[in-house]
Amino acid sequence: MTFALLGQARNGGEVAWDLDAEQRLEKVPAPVRTMARQELERTALDKGQPKVTVKLMEEVKGRYFGMFKGSSQS
């Protein structure tokens, strides 16, 4: 089952994007933008949210970059 089929099964179509979230995604470096888009849309679907918002982006960012907090050695 592909990501697209999963999205269609859960919400009848693609995940919508808030204008602010879409503009923010454009600032993500091109080499990782597609992967970031897929992860954000997957997370929105998992949470039952109809669209990707800046709030969701912050949550996902915290999940990935938060794992490095406190990992520095003294």
Evaluate whether residue 27 is within a structural domain.
yes
pTM across the whole model = 0.71
Give DSSP secondary structure letters for 14-32.
Answer: PPEE-HHHHHHHTTS-HHH
Evaluate whether residue 74 is within a structural domain.
no
Structure confidence by residue, pLDDT tens digits, 22-68: 999 999 999 999 999 999 999 999 999 999 999 999 999 998 877 66
Evaluate whether residue 72 is within a structural domain.
no
Evaluate whether residue 31 is within a structural domain.
yes
In terms of residue numbers, what domain contains 51? 3-66
Q: What is the pLDDT of residue 68?
A: 60
Does the pLDDT at position 70 exceed 70? no
What CATH number is attached to the domain comprising 50?
Answer: 1.10.8.550
